[in-house]
Amino acid sequence: MKIDRRRFLTATGLTGASLAAGAIPLATPTAAATTPARPRIKLAIASYSYWHFRTERVPIETVIDKAAAIGVEGVDILHRQMDIGEKEPLTSEHRAHLQRLKRHAFRNGIDLVCLSIHQDFVDPDPAYLRQQIEHTHKCIEIAYELGVPCIRLNSGRWNTIKSFDDLMKARGIEPVLPGHTEDEGFKWCIDCIEQCLPKAAECGVLLALENHWGLTRTPEGLLHILNTVKSPWLGGLMDTGNFMEDPYDKLKAIAPKTVYVQAKTYYGGGEWYTLDLDYKRIARILADAGYTGYVGLEMEGKEAPDIAVPKSIAMLRQAFDGI
């Protein structure tokens, strides 16, 4: 069918004058269109939020289901919570389990964003440190099998306070092992991390060193390690609840090195202590440092997680969306 040119131009609002000008006029860009939007922070839920070592273990698959129902994007897996032996060598059955777990996450639209492991790089015994390095290598392999881009790393501690409950009563401060110095502890830790880096690079798994207990209890300790070990495969993990006193300046100090964030909440009162954290302020600290990665909830309160976790996610979403 032949289309009349005049009728077409009239119907589409194109006039001869506009065509003669050589182009169809475009809308003037708005400020919103010309100003790049800040990337939206994605939220994850740490499986630890549902299991604080005191009750029957909650399966990772269950946490994935709950995270999908709540509507977050990711899950942070606590290695000790998995259905494979923490200290055992990886077997073919273990690897098959990891693939099933990865499939379950994918089918629920969930990213597996971190594997939180337990290891200790502060000890005078070379054989013990070698064992800890080998354990970390195995955990890097687990992360690789799962498609997890980073593992939570500890510096380790002196273990002069044996009970974790007693360590928390001491606000995370413990004496140096008799006959040794803090400088030795940093050397052991740095040497061990450096021996893990080739495996991390081979598997494409970031080592995210947490401001945990021991050598990284202070921002100065954490930054000393991060600034000494110069590798793109090592970064900082900011745990918002592990600086017990005056946290904001300390969080600001480690923010530029942060590659992953674990955000603590304490609904129902904390298992060991309770902090009243201002997450709008923390969100601003991270934004000012240019952080655009995941924020993983670690709900450490005594309130039932099916109540406290969704409440925590709503609070975090409001805090980070408001920046």
Tokens representing 225? Answer: 């390690």
Tokens representing 56? Answer: 């029957």
Cα–Cα distance for residue pair 193/234, rounded to 1 Å: 9
pLDDT in tens, 217-229: 999 999 999 999 9
Looking at residue 2, what is its pLDDT? 46
Percentage above 70 pLDDT, the chain: 88
Looking at residue 136, what is its pLDDT? 98
Looking at residue 36, what is its pLDDT? 57
What average pLDDT does the segment 276-286 reach? 97
Total residues found in the chain within this entry: 323
Cα–Cα distance for residue pair 309/315, rounded to 1 Å: 10
- Phi/psi of residue 111, each to 5°? -85, 140
Which residue from 56, 98, 51, 49 is spatially nearest to 75, judged by alpha carbons?
49
Q: By three-state DSSP, how is residue 75 classified?
A: strand
pLDDT of 6 over the 80 cut: no
Looking at residue 35, what is its pLDDT? 53
For residue 237, CA distances in Å to 88, 153, 157, 212, 293 come to: 26, 8, 17, 9, 11
Mention every residue, 6+ apart, whose C-beta is less than 8 A from residue 240.
247, 251, 261, 262, 263, 264, 277, 279, 282
What average pLDDT does the segment 232-255 reach? 97
pLDDT in tens, 149-169: 999 999 999 999 999 899 999
Given the structure tokens 């360590």, which residue do they identify? 167
Angle at 55 between CA 245 and CA 262, to 5 degrees: 35
Q: What residues does each domain of the chain span?
A: 41-321
Split at pLDDT 50, 70, 90, the class of 322 is confident
Q: By three-state DSSP, how is residue 175 classified?
A: coil
Asked if 312 and 62 touch (Cβ cutoff 8 Å), the reply is no
pLDDT in tens, 117-151: 999 999 999 999 999 999 999 999 999 999 999 99
What average pLDDT does the segment 282-306 reach? 97
Helices marked H in 147-235: 164-169, 182-203, 219-228
Looking at residue 37, what is its pLDDT? 65
pLDDT of 208 over the 90 cut: yes
Looking at residue 13, what is its pLDDT? 45
For residue 238, list its beta bridge partners: 261
Looking at residue 14, what is its pLDDT? 44
Q: Whole-model pTM?
A: 0.87
Q: Does the domain formed by 41-321 have CATH 3.30.70.580?
A: no
Looking at residue 218, what is its pLDDT? 96
pLDDT in tens, 48-88: 999 999 889 999 999 999 999 999 999 999 999 999 999 99
Looking at residue 107, what is its pLDDT? 98
For residue 308, CA distances in Å to 17, 65, 313 come to: 64, 16, 9
What average pLDDT does the segment 290-318 reach? 97
Range with the poorest average pLDDT among 14-18, 49-53, 82-86, 94-98:
14-18
Looking at residue 29, what is its pLDDT? 47
Looking at residue 25, what is its pLDDT? 46
